[in-house]
Structure 1
């Protein structure tokens, strides 16, 4: 598996047990997601996509509010991050 696929799996596993994650772990996963999405957007040329900016803003806010998020909000943020990364991975694979 690739590093990207491994990270997507890590996000999904974490989303399945949001109550077992510390606030630091949540914030760290979301921050890694933000960095990954930015890097992949640069590679795909999708930097100007309005929806992608919205997702990054939502993930940043969730990362900063990790202490205050409910388990459902944590799960949703992690699944959203995994979905965006998976979509960008598919786009990158098509261009190869």
Structure 2
């Protein structure tokens, strides 16, 4: 299994246990997801979106507000991050 697949699994596992995560763990996962998405977007040549609904903006806000998020909000953000990373992984695997 690749490091990317491992991280996707870690995000999904954390999402399923979001009520047990500390604020620090939650924030750290969001930050790692942000870094991973940025790196993968760079590798794919995807232009970083500067839209109000960009997942990176949502993750940054979630990271900064980790202490105030409900377990459901944490779960939703982690699943969104895993989905974006999975999609970028597929794109990278198809790129020659």
TM range (shorter): over 0.9
Distance 1:18 1:3 in 2: 22
Residue equivalent to 2:26: 26
Partner deviation per Cα, 1:14-53 (whole Å, 9 max, x = no partner): 00011100000000000000000000000001124456x7
How far apart are residue 68 of structure 1 and its match? 0.2
* Alignment TM-score, normalising by the size of structure 2: 0.94
Moved >3 Å (runs of 4+): 48-51
- Is it true that 1:7 corresponds to 2:7 in the alignment? yes
RMSD: 1.3
Q: 2:74 is paired with a residue of what secondary structure?
A: helix
Structure 2 matches for 1:28-67, cutoff 5 A?
28-49=28-49, 54-67=54-67
Structure 2 residue runs without a partner (length 5+): none
* Alignment TM-score, normalising by the size of structure 1: 0.94
Residue equivalent to 1:81: 81
How far apart are residue 58 of structure 1 and its match? 0.2
Structure ranking higher in helix proportion: 1
Number of residue pairs the alignment of both structures matches: 95
Structure 1 residue runs without a partner (length 5+): none
